């Protein structure tokens, strides 16, 4: 069920405007509405309130913005995030509307149910070390349950099935090789004169959203609890990943990755001559600046899709709709899509039963509400695509292009991660780094570890409970599309590329494994490139604009 491929995706193309009416009041059960008022019986927003948001999105005039009615809760502290940003333009690269988003699934479909089951599974496995996935019994239960779904959407599989090695991994080439966590999130590095050991503050789960009243308070824009932190750790579990990506500044982890790469001996792919360095032509200063600059354009790309195309609900809302279906069966015939949602998510019976038991242990009550890791729940913008994901896709694309990730000009011999001067690490207990010496260590590549970084960040938000897989796998690809257009335009500012023809451009391995040469006139296959033996990812799609 791929999105329709077109030059631009029409405004409102995937708005789910099905309605439910009770006592003359019309509600929208299936469209994003956080910070608006939510019905005490169902948790749905009214059509009247949402329509005012839609009008302001389409035409953000002062009068339309003034007409928006947020929740009147005296404890509301939040408001809609970036509603007017859909009208912004990029100063370099493709316009925000240009990215064709590949993964839109109806909210009551089997595909969406699979992705909700995956979110539930991540909650259950938050504290299981990634290094223990091959032996942990809950992991085995989760894998068996997820494999009951006929469609695994974009989740990596082996022979059509999720395995211990593919569970929760990203879609990029090389992401199922080596440890789950990217080497770029493990390596100690220098930030100027400051030595950075990558231990991160660990956040504990709140319980404020595990009752209907608490859930509704958060939907109404309240933020009733504070984040509780408990020490620091290397990234060994989903909990640590979720903590890392809770409040990380926009491009922090990619600037950090550039530092790690250069300090680990990864070279640059910029202009090269025996008499002079590249410097601002894809040298280190240019790389550091570019991962910052590309990020805001990627966010604009995501925001157009979020508000202008999809307005898709968050996992915390999906879980609440399922809880309604469980506990108020009279709604199944009245709310369009609710019965289908219930039937589809219950393909994962073992996961559902484990969630009910887990929540009972947390709050003394069996509920299917989602144990979101953050007390405020999700951000106050729609779920798809993930902003973290679009930025990850864009920043990692810039890094893969501007760093030396191939040992040949044709883009067929990838630069290995493990060399005589570079080792692979992992953390099992969160307090120590140990050598990773499994047989596939020799197959780890710089490209693969950068792809992992993008997915660790993007899908790390799923461990927090605030995104679905489609948001992030698709967001990464949207960010990649924008970044390629950004790099094409960037080359036009290089005298070496546009005037003197001493620098042709960059060789990039895209997330799907295909290789392109980025030049000032667009993209093409590198000279001497041959199709690799590994398969191009099944969700590869051609952009009209670049690549």
- Alpha-carbon distance of 70 to 27, in angstroms, equals 15
- Alpha-carbon distance of 301 to 379, in angstroms, equals 17
Structure tokens at 517: 């040469």
Helices and strands (H, E) in the chain, number of each type: 15, 11
What is the pLDDT, as a whole number, of residue 499? 85
Phi/psi-derived region of residue 81, left when phi > 0, alpha when psi is between -120 and 50, beta in every other case: beta
Q: Are residues 518 and 487 in contact, defined by beta-carbon separation less than 8 angstroms?
A: yes
- Cβ count near 162 (within 10 Å): 23
Sign of CA dihedral 117, 120, 125, 130: positive
DSSP tag of 536: P
Tokens 């991962």 found at: 291
What is the pLDDT, as a whole number, of residue 484? 97
Within 8 A by CB and 6+ apart from 50, the residues are 28, 31, 33, 36
Within 8 A by CB and 6+ apart from 151, the residues are 1, 110, 111, 114
What is the pLDDT, as a whole number, of residue 4? 29
Just give the CATH number of 1-547.
Answer: 1.10.606.10
- Cβ count near 362 (within 10 Å): 14
Structure tokens at 400: 């893969």
Chain centroid to Cα 217, Å, comes to 26
What is the pLDDT, as a whole number, of residue 545? 34
What is the pLDDT, as a whole number, of residue 497? 86
Chain centroid to Cα 363, Å, comes to 29
Per-residue pLDDT of the chain (547 residues; tens, 9 = 90+): 233 233 456 888 999 999 999 999 999 999 999 999 999 999 999 999 999 999 999 999 999 999 999 999 999 999 999 999 999 999 999 999 987 777 899 999 999 999 999 999 999 999 999 999 999 999 999 999 999 999 999 999 999 999 999 999 999 999 999 999 999 999 999 999 999 999 999 999 999 999 999 999 999 999 887 899 999 999 999 999 999 999 999 999 999 999 999 999 999 998 889 999 999 999 999 999 999 999 999 999 999 999 999 999 999 999 999 999 999 999 999 999 999 999 999 999 999 999 999 999 999 999 999 999 999 999 999 999 999 999 999 999 999 999 999 999 889 999 999 999 999 999 999 999 999 999 999 999 999 999 999 999 999 999 999 999 999 999 999 999 999 999 999 999 999 988 888 999 999 999 999 999 999 989 887 765 454 433 333 333 333 333 3
Alpha-carbon distances, residue 410 vs 445, 481, 504, 516, 529 (angstroms): 16, 21, 13, 9, 5
Structure tokens at 390: 């679009």
What is the pLDDT, as a whole number, of residue 532? 43
What pTM was estimated for this model as a whole?
A: 0.94
DSSP tag of 417: S
Q: Are residues 514 and 541 in contact, defined by beta-carbon separation less than 8 angstroms?
A: no
- Alpha-carbon distance of 224 to 97, in angstroms, equals 36
DSSP 305-370: IIIIII-PPPHHHHHHHHHHHHH-GGGTTTSTTHHHHHHHHGGGHHHHHHHHHHHHHHHSS---S-
Q: Are residues 347 and 148 in contact, defined by beta-carbon separation less than 8 angstroms?
A: yes
């Amino acid at each position: 069920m791929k999105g329709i491929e077109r030059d631009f995706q029409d405004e409102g193309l995937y708005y789910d405007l099905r309605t439910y009416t009770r006592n003359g009041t019309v509600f929208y059960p299936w469209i994003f509405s956080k910070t608006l008022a939510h019905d005490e019986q169902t948790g749905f927003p009214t059509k009247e309130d949402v329509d005012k948001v839609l009008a302001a999105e389409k035409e953000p005039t002062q009068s339309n913005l003034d007409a928006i009615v947020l929740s009147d809760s005296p404890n509301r502290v939040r408001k809609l995030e970036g509603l007017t940003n859909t009208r912004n333009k990029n100063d370099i690269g493709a316009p925000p509307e240009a990215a064709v988003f590949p993964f839109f699934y109806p909210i009551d479909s089997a595909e969406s149910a699979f992705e909700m089951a995956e979110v539930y599974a991540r909650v259950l496995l938050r504290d299981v070390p990634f290094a223990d996935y091959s032996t942990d019994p809950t992991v085995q239960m989760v894998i068996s349950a997820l494999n009951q779904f006929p469609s695994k959407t974009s989740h990596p599989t082996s022979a059509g099935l999720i395995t211990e090695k593919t569970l929760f991994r990203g879609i990029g080439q090389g992401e199922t090789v080596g440890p789950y966590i990217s080497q770029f999130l493990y390596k100690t590095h220098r930030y100027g004169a400051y030595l950075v050991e990558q231990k991160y503050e660990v956040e504990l789960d709140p319980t404020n959203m595990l009752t209907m009243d608490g859930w509704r308070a958060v939907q109404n824009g309240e933020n009733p609890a504070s984040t509780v932190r408990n020490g620091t750790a290397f990234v060994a579990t989903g909990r640590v990943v979720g903590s890392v990506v809770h409040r990380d500044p926009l491009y922090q982890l990619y600037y950090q990755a550039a530092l790690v790469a250069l300090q680990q001996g990864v070279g640059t792919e910029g202009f090269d001559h025996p008499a002079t360095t590249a410097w601002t032509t894809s040298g280190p200063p240019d790389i550091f600046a570019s991962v910052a600059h590309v990020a805001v354009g990627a966010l604009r790309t995501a925001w157009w899709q979020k508000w202008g195309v999809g307005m898709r609900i968050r996992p915390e809302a999906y879980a609440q709709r399922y809880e309604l279906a469980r506990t108020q069966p009279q709604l199944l015939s009245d709310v369009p899509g609710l019965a289908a949602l219930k039937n589809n998510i219950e393909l994962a019976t073992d996961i559902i039963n484990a969630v009910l038991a887990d929540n009972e242990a947390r709050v003394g009550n069996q509920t299917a509400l989602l144990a979101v890791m953050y007390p405020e729940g999700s951000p106050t913008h729609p779920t798809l695509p993930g902003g973290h994901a679009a930025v990850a896709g864009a920043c990692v694309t810039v890094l893969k292009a501007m760093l030396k990730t191939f040992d040949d000009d044709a883009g067929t011999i990838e630069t290995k991660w493990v060399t005589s001067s570079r080792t692979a690490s992992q953390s099992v207990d969160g307090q120590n780094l140990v050598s990773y010496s499994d047989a596939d260590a020799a197959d780890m590549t710089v490209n693969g570890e950068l792809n992992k970084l993008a997915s660790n960040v993007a899908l790390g938000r799923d461990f927090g409970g605030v995104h679905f897989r489609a948001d992030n796998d698709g967001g990464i690809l949207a960010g990649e599309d924008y970044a390629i257009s950004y790099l094409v335009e960037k080359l036009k500012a290089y005298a070496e590329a546009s005037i003197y023809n001493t620098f042709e451009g960059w060789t990039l391995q895209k997330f799907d494994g295909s290789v392109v040469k980025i030049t000032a006139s667009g993209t093409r296959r590198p000279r001497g490139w041959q199709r690799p033996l590994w398969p191009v990812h099944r969700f590869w799609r051609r952009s009209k604009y670049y690549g």
